[in-house]
Structure 1
C-alpha cells in the first residue's frame, strides 16, 4: 500500500456513490417490480436499514484495525491460513464481479449506441482507461471522480424532472395489495447492490481523516437510497407492469420521454451516465483486485498487477457468458443477490463476531 496516497472524506463519499448508484438505478428496478409490482419503490427502506448495519460493520472493523485492508485483518482475526483462504475468496469475488460489470457494459453499449462494434473493442477501450487510472493511483481516481460525480448529478436531475412530468400516480395503487412479504422479498436486489459498501474494506485505509469515515459513508448511503427511491417511483408511474419486461428500464423511459416530449435522443444522456459510472466502478474493482493480490502474495507495489489484471478482465468479460442477454439477466436475477449477500454482508459480519468473541475471551483470561 502506498502511504502517500490519501483521499478526503468528501472524495470517499463520491467514490462510493459513483461505484453503486449508476448501475443500481439503471439495472435493478425491473427485477424488483417483477416481485413487488407497484410497491417496488418501498423496497429501498428495508434495504437502507440493512445497508446501515453493513456500513457499521465495515467501519467497526476498520476502526479496530486502522490502516489495514480487509485482506490483511482477516489474517489477524482468523489466523494466517484461514485468513489467506478468505483473501483468495474475496479476490475471486472481485474478479468475477469485474467480468460481470464489463460484460454489462458491453451489452449496454451494443444495445444502445454501437450495435455493430465487436465486444472486445467495447470492453478493451474501457478496461485500458481504467487500467491507466489504477496505475495513477487511488488519489487520481478520486480526483477524477469529483468531476464525474458532479456530471452524473447534473444529468440525472433534469431527467428525473422530465420523468415526473409524464407520471401517472394512479399506477402506484393499490398500495400493499399483497402485503409486506413481496416488498421484503424483492428488497434482496437493492440490498445486494448496497452491500457493495464492502469496498470500504479496501478504501478506508487511504482516508486522510479516519474520523470522517462514518459521516462520508452514511451520507453516501443516504444519497444513493434517496436517489434510487425517487427514480423508481416515476418509472413505475410511467410504465407500470411493463417495467419488469425491460432490460434497462431507465433507458426505456428516457427514450419514451424523448419521443413524447420536446427533446430527442435523450438516451445519449443515459449512455453518458452509464459510461462514467462504469469507469469508476471498473477502476475501483481493478484497484481492489491489484491490492488484494499485493497483500496475498506480499508484493510491495500493486501497480505490478495492473497490466495482467486489465488483460484478464477483457478476456473474462467476453467469455463469462455464452448467451450475453439471457445468461447475464439470469445471473443478476437468480445468482448474484444471494452470492453478493453472503459475501458482502455475512462474511464481514462473521469476521466482526469472531473478532469480538476473541477480544472478550482474551479479557476474561487472567
Structure 2
C-alpha cells in the first residue's frame, strides 16, 4: 500500500484554515479583555510563540525524520517518561478538540437552532469529521485547500461595506505595553495548536520547503488576526470585550443596498466549514497518535471510537463553552505547557543525547588505546 504524502503548501493551508476557524470568532473577545484598544497588537506579541512552536517541531523532525512526537518521545526520554509525555500531549489534543466541538454546539444552539438537541448537532459534525479522518491525510489537506478562500471571502464581505465607518484605533499603548503582552499571552490559545502539526509533518514529501511554509502559516494566521481585531475594535471600540462573539456582532451592521442583510447566516455557514477543518485537524492527529501509542498496525479501526470519545468529553468533561473565557490566563498556560513547553523539553533532551554520544565514543576509543600499555 502506497504511503500517503502531502506537500508543504498543503500543510500550510491545513494549519491556517484549521486554526483561523475558531480564532476569528472567539479570539477578538479574549484579546479585547486583555489588551483593550490595543487588541490588534496582541497577535503580533504572540507571534513569537507560534514561530517557536513550529521551529521546535521542525528541529525535532530533522533529528527524527518520519516520526511523530509519540514515536520519538520514547527514544528521547525513555519508555516511562516518553510514554508520560505522549499521554500528556495526546490528552491535550483530545481535550482541545472536544472543547472546539462544545463551542460549536453551544453557539449553534444559542444563535440559530435553539430547538435542536445539542447531541444531534455534535453527532452530525463528528460523523462528517470521522469520514474525513477515515479517508486519510491527503483528503483532509485537499478539503482544507478548497476552504482557504472562505475566511478571506468572509473578511472582505463583512469589512469592505463598513470601510467608511472605520475610525482610527487611538490611543495606542494608552496603558503601556503590558496589556499587549497579556493579549499576546492569551493568543497562545491558538498559536499552541500549531503543535499538532507533529502528526502531519512526517507525510510532507518536499521537506526542503517545510521550514518556509510552516513559518509562513504562522505569519499568515497572525496577519489575519491583526486585520480582524483591528477592524472589530475600530467598529465596536471599548465595547468589544462585552461580547462573546464580537465578529458576529459586527456582521449585523452590514447591509447591501438595504435588501441583503443579516450576514450572520453567511458567517455561520463559513464558520461551520472552518470548524469542520479544525475538528478534523485535531481528530486525525489524535487518531494517529493513539494508534502509534498502542502500536496498532492501522489507525482506521480507531476512527469511530475516537469520535465517540470526543463527543462524550465535549458534553460530560466540559461544563460550558465559555469555560475558557473565565480563566483565560490559566487556559493559555495550559496550551503553552502542552503545545510549546513539552516539545521544547524533548528537543533540549534530544540535543543533550546527541551531544553526549560523540564524547562517549571518544572516551571509549581512548580507553581502548590506553588498555594495551597497562
* TM bracket (short chain): over 0.9
CA apart distance, 1:321:
3.2
SS at match of 2:254: helix
Please tell me whether the aligned partners of residues 155 and 228 of structure 2 are also in contact (alpha carbons under 8 angstroms).
no
SS at match of 2:6: coil
CA apart distance, 1:111:
2.3
**Partners in 2 of 1:261 and 1:351 — Cα distance?**
57
**Equivalent position of 1:355 in the other structure:** 350
SS at match of 2:252: helix
Please tell me whether the aligned partners of residues 71 and 292 of structure 1 are also in contact (alpha carbons under 8 angstroms).
yes
Relative to structure 1, the CA distance from residue 8 to residue 334 in structure 2 (aligned partners, 3 Å threshold; closer, same or farther) is same
CA apart distance, 1:22:
2.0
**Equivalent position of 2:42 in the other structure:** 43
**Equivalent position of 1:62 in the other structure:** 61
**Equivalent position of 1:177 in the other structure:** 174
CA apart distance, 1:358:
1.5
Matches within 5 A, 1:55-134: 55-134=54-133
Bigger CA radius of gyration: 2
Relative to structure 1, the CA distance from residue 348 to residue 24 in structure 2 (aligned partners, 3 Å threshold; closer, same or farther) is same
CA-to-aligned-CA distance 1:316-346 (integer Å, 9 cap, x gap): 2122334x35535325x24321100111111
Relative to structure 1, the CA distance from residue 37 to residue 155 in structure 2 (aligned partners, 3 Å threshold; closer, same or farther) is closer
Q: Is 1:189–2:186 an aligned residue pair? A: yes
Matches within 5 A, 1:3-22: 4-22=3-21
* Equivalent residue for 1:345, pick from 328, 340, 343: 340
CA apart distance, 1:3:
5.8
CA-to-aligned-CA distance 1:181-223 (integer Å, 9 cap, x gap): 1111121121231121102211000112111111211121111
CA-to-aligned-CA distance 1:11-61 (integer Å, 9 cap, x gap): 111100011112111101112212211111111222112221221111111
CA-to-aligned-CA distance 1:225-257 (integer Å, 9 cap, x gap): 111001101111111111101111101110122
Q: Is 1:225–2:241 an aligned residue pair? A: no
**Partners in 1 of 2:189 and 2:257 — Cα distance?**
34
Matches within 5 A, 1:134-173: 134-169=133-168, 172-173=169-170
TM-score (norm 2): 0.92
SS at match of 1:15: helix
Please tell me whether the aligned partners of residues 324 and 331 of structure 2 are also in contact (alpha carbons under 8 angstroms).
no
CA apart distance, 1:258:
4.0
**Equivalent position of 2:311 in the other structure:** 314
Please tell me whether the aligned partners of residues 3 and 206 of structure 1 are also in contact (alpha carbons under 8 angstroms).
no
Query: Which consecutive unaligned segments of at least 5 residues does structure 1 have?
Result: none
